Amino acid sequence: MTAQPTDIATYNFAYLDEQTKRMIRRAILKGIAIPGYQVPFASREMPMPYGWGTGGVQVTASIIGPDDVLKVIDQGADDTTNAVSIRAFFKKVANVAVTTETAKATIIQTRHRIPEHPLTSGQVLVYQVPIPEPLRFLEPRETETRKMHALEEYGLMHVKLYEDIARHGRIATTYAYPVKVEGRYVMDPSPTPKFDNPKMHRSPALQLFGAGREKRIYALPPFTDVVSLDFEDHPFEVQTFDQPCALCAAENVYLDEVILDDHGDHMFVCSDTDHCEKRREQGRRGDLAPETMEPTQ
């Protein structure tokens, strides 16, 4: 009954028991074999609430090995609660190396962003998915949506885009923008901004999606065609920003608005913190970058 003082958890490697990991790996393999198809799996209770990434954590736990290097991002940031906690969790239960650098990671678990740094072959991107069914808000019956996927009846998806244009004059969907995978399944890319949709197309990295509460896993094998749905006269477009990042002056990246004070002052900064830091280390400075050494300031 002597407690062993050790950093490594005394329970199973990567928290989940081997049978569970085996079951999840089967679901992942099936998902890879049928890109975009939602594979049901027996989601486990995890030591965190639903909605905090239980699906992503189970997928990561099932594929992670002792040699892996893990990066976890939450809305692009490595330093928010969810990201820090999940990273600490895997450090404890799997004793793996962790990083914030996109290029060094072998597994990147993400909540709602794809890193700006291009992913390479051999990397795995694990998405945390709240609602895997793209048709859910149009057709509430699961039996019916499954049939619609099976019979490739996707007219309804365009009804949603039609409604957007009728109401707003353009496709107003900005996140969870539906995509068609390999010309077959319509898939919800999880609530990533549509800015990231083109990065999914023919990505050299393996992309896995885990929805813990909804008990679904789906996947995009490397170099899969991922096409965002649109109309001929209203083609798919990504968001554009008027100004570059206020900290690192990056353009053509996804920016977050940050409120600075109670007077409504704000700035737009990179949502991808790793990308932003790298650029500042290289000496790039935006308009509001702190500790500038220029004499005028």
- Interacting residues with another protein (CB under 8 A): 138, 147, 151-156, 158-160, 162-163, 165-167, 230-234
Shortest spacing between CB 30 and another protein, in angstroms: 22
DSSP 175: B
Residues 225 and 35: beta-carbon distance below 8 Å: no
Q: Hey, what are 129's tokens? A: 């998915």
Residue with smaller CB distance to another protein, 151 or 293: 151
Distances (CA, A) of 274 to 29, 67, 81: 31, 22, 16
Please report where in the chains the tokens 């949709």 appear, as a residue: 197
Which member of 55, 212, 245, 286 is catalytic?
A: 245
210 is annotated as an active-site residue: no
Considering the complex, state which of residue 37 and residue 127 has its C-beta at the smaller distance from another protein. Answer: 37
**Cβ–Cβ under 8 Å, residues 244 and 288:** no
Query: Has 270 been annotated as catalytic?
Result: yes
**Minimum CB separation from another protein for residue 240, in Å?**
21
With CA atoms as reference, report the closest residue to 61 among 107, 98, 7, 101.
107
Nearest Cα to Cα of residue 217 among 15, 67, 55: 55
| For another protein, the closer CB: 88 or 159 | 159
Q: How far is the CB of 291 from another protein (least distance, A)?
A: 50
Choosing from 31, 36, 210, 212, which is the catalytic residue? 36
Question: Closest distance between another protein and the C-beta of residue 34, in Å?
Answer: 18
Distance (Å, rounded) from C-alpha 200 to C-alpha 88? 27
The 3-state secondary structure of 222-239, one letter per residue: CCCCEEECCECCECCCCC
| Nearer to another protein among residue 153 and residue 182 (C-beta) | 153
Residues classed as catalytic: 36, 245, 248, 270, 276
